[in-house]
Amino acid sequence: MPTPDVLWNTPVHVRLQNGTEKSFESIHDTLDFLENEWPKAHGAYHDAAVVSCRNALRRQTPPAVSKELFLAACLEAGLAVRGGSRRPSGQRLTSTAHRHF
């Protein structure tokens, strides 16, 4: 039986090294990218994001934690990101990170 997907509250947009932009709206899509399309050697945030996404699909980790780890993994790999979560005050935690598109 397949695991039901979990959607992000807001999508994350990642600019890949070849210049194309990819959007992520769910944990399944994010996990597939982390496991099968990751552009660089795996770092600590990448590994943590993979584990966190798997746990979020099993409802063992809050989706927001997985999303933040995914954003950190993208930054660790030098990928530009926009979108992300909001702090309780409504301020963006990562509106655009690394560099502007």
Within-domain flag for 15: yes
pLDDT at 77: 93
Positions of the chain with pLDDT under 70:
1-2, 84-101
pLDDT at 84: 67
**Residue 82 β-bridge partners:** 13, 96
* Domain count across the chain: 1
pLDDT at 36: 94
CA angle 6, 9, 12 (to 5 degrees): 90
Reported pTM:
0.79
Within-domain flag for 89: yes
What range defines the domain where residue 27 resides? Answer: 7-97
Helix axes 44-57, 27-36, angle to 10 degrees: 140
Within-domain flag for 2: no
Within-domain flag for 80: yes
pLDDT at 97: 41
Within-domain flag for 27: yes
